[in-house]
Amino acid sequence: MLMKLARLSLWNRRGTVLMTVLSLVISISLLLGIDHLRHEAKNSFTSTVSGTDLIVGARSGQLNLLLYSIFRIGNATANISWETYQRIQNHPQIAWTIPISLGDSHRGYRVVGTNQDYFEFYRYAGQQQLQLAQGVIFDDVYDTVLGSEVAARLGYQLGQEIVLAHGIGQVSFSQHQDKPFTVVGILAPTGTPVDQSVHVSLQGIEAIHIDWQQGAPMPGRRVSAEQALEMDLTPKAITAFLVGLNSRAATFLVQRQINEFRGEPLTAILPGVALAELWQMLSMVERLLLVITVLVLLAGLVGMTTTLLASMKERQREIAILRAVGAHPRTLFWLVQLEVLLITLVSMLLAMAVLMVGLWFGQDLLASRYGLFIGLNPIRQSSLQLMGLVLGLALLLGCIPSWLAYRKALTDGLSVRL
C-alpha cells in the first residue's frame, strides 16, 4: 500500500519528478560513464605493449623513452649505433629484439622503420599478436604495412603508392618524393599506437636517407630509387629496440648490463614500470574528472531534495488525510524515503540504459577516431560501489524532506491550513 501510495503520488507529480529524474540520469550516467572510461582507458593504456621485457634506447629518462618508442610521442635525443645493437642482440639471455627507427612521417602519422620480427614478436593486450587485415608483411625495400587507422582515415588501399616526409610535422616541406612506397599490407585494429603507424623496413629508411645529410638532401647528389637498391642499405643507427628475454628472471641483470654498457650511453627500461609511472601522471586528470562528476551528482541529488521539499507544502492535505486514517508520523517519513528510493532507482536504471546505448553508438566512433576500444558492459565492481554511493547519498539527503513530512504529521495533526 505504501509502495502504491509512493508510486501514484510520484505519478501525480510527474512533471517535476520527470525533471528530477532527468537531472539524476544525466549526473549518474556521467558518473558511471567516466568511471567506465577510466577503467577502459587504463586497460587499453597498460596493454599497449606486453610480452616485452625491456625497451632500450639512447640514454634518457624512462618516460621519454617509453613515449617515443611505444606511443610515438616526442623524439629521441640520440640514436643507437648499429654495431651496439648487433652486440647486445647477441647477448646469450636475449631471445629476440625488435629494432625501431623513427624520424619520418606520412601526413601526420609516424613512420616506423623495423623488420619482420616486429610482426612476429610484438604483443599487446596480453598475448595478442599483430594481425594483417589485408595483404602481406613488407618484403621489399619500398614496401609498407599500414596501421588500421592510417589506412581507414586516409582511405588507402593495397597497391597504392605513398610518399614519406622527413620529420614528424603534419605538414612537411621536405618529402622523400623520389622514393615512393607501395602499400602491401594493412594491419587489423589493435587499439594501440600501432594503428597510427606506417611500417617500413629498416632498409627502406636507409634508402630514402641515402642522399641526405643533416636532415636535408645533399645538394648536387641524387640517388634514384633503383640506384639505392644497388647500394649497401645496412642501417647505420636505430632509435630504440624492444627486447624479449629467454628468462624473465634475468630482466634486472640484463637491464643493468645494458645501462652500464661501455661502448655507448644506453638506457634500458621495464615497460610495465614505465607504463605505471606514466599512468600515475595521467590519473591525476582522471581523478579530477571523477571528483567533478561526483559534484555533478551531488548537484542532482540536492535538486531532488529541493523538489521534494517544495512539494511538501502542497502535500499538507495528503499528510492530514493519511494521519486521519491512522498513519503514524514515521509512516510519512518512510513514504517520502520510498519516493526518494523510487526516483533514484529509476534514475539509475535509466542512466545505465543511456550509458549502454551511448557506448553502443560511441564504440565505433571511439575506435575509428581515437583507436580506443571500449567494452560495452559498464557494470563492474566499482560501478556497483558507485551506485551504492548514489543510493546512500540520495537516502541521506532524502532524510531532509522525510523529516519535514514527519514534523508536519506530528505538529499539524488533522488541521489543514488552506
Partner 1 sequence: MKVGQPVTDKPKNYVIELKNLRFRWPGKQGWQLALDTLQLEAGQHLFIRGASGSGKTTLLNLLSGITTPNEGELWLQQTAMHKLSAAKRDTLRAQQIGVVFQQLNLIPYLSVLDNVLLVARFANRTGGELTERATMLLQHLGLQDELHHKKATELSVGQQQRVAIARALLLRPALLIADEPTSALDADNRDAFMKLMLAEANESGTTVIFVSHDKALQGYFSWHLAMEQLEQGVQPC
Of 1 and 285, CB closest to partner 1: 1
In the chain, what is the straight-line distance between the N-terminal and C-terminal CA atoms, in Å?
27
Give me the 313-332 binding string for partner 1, x by CB under 8 A, dash otherwise: ----xx-xxxxxxxxxxxx-
406 burial level (CB within 10 Å; 0-12, 13-18, 19+): buried
Of 299 and 324, CB closest to partner 1: 324
Residue 215 sits in the site that holds partner 1 (CB under 8 A): no
Q: Residue type at 105?
A: S
Interactions with partner 1, residue window 76-115 (CB under 8 A): none
Of 231 and 324, CB closest to partner 1: 324
Of 136 and 416, CB closest to partner 1: 416
Rounded to whole angstroms, how far apart are CA atoms 220 and 43? 52
As measured in angstroms, the least distance from the Cβ of 1 to partner 1 is 4
Place of cell 587499439: 191
As measured in angstroms, the least distance from the Cβ of 402 to partner 1 is 17
Q: How far is CA 249 from the centre of its chain?
A: 31
Other C-beta atoms within 10 Å of 102: how many? 23
Interactions with partner 1, residue window 321-380 (CB under 8 A): 321-331
As measured in angstroms, the least distance from the Cβ of 331 to partner 1 is 8
Rounded to whole angstroms, how far apart are CA atoms 202 and 79? 14
As measured in angstroms, the least distance from the Cβ of 326 to partner 1 is 2
Region from 140-148, 199-207, 349-357, 409-417 binding partner 1, contact rule CB under 8 A: 409-417
Other C-beta atoms within 10 Å of 203: how many? 21
For residue 258, give every residue at least 6 positions away whose Cβ sits within 8 Å of its Cβ, in sequence order, or none: 54, 56, 88, 266, 267, 268
Question: Among 11, 15, 126, 381, which residue sits at the site for partner 1 (rule: CB under 8 A)?
Answer: 11
Of 214 and 415, CB closest to partner 1: 415
Of 133 and 321, CB closest to partner 1: 321
As measured in angstroms, the least distance from the Cβ of 3 to partner 1 is 11
Interactions with partner 1, residue window 288-317 (CB under 8 A): 317
Strand ranges inside 46-157, DSSP E:
54-58, 80-81, 94-106, 109-114, 123-124, 128-129, 132-135, 143-146
DSSP secondary structure letters along 171-236? S-S-B-TTS-EEEEEEEPP-SSGGGGEEEEEHHHHHHHTTTEETTEEPTT----HHHHHHS----S
Region from 1-9, 167-175, 224-232, 257-265 binding partner 1, contact rule CB under 8 A: 1-9
Rounded to whole angstroms, how far apart are CA atoms 167 and 107? 11
Grid coordinates belonging to 31: 558518473
Q: Report which secondary-structure segment, H or E, holds 238.
A: strand 237-238
Of 321 and 396, CB closest to partner 1: 321
Region from 4-12, 205-213, 334-342, 344-352 binding partner 1, contact rule CB under 8 A: 4-12
As measured in angstroms, the least distance from the Cβ of 329 to partner 1 is 8
Residues found near partner 1 in the complex (CB under 8 A): 1-2, 4-5, 8-9, 11-12, 317-318, 320-331, 413-416
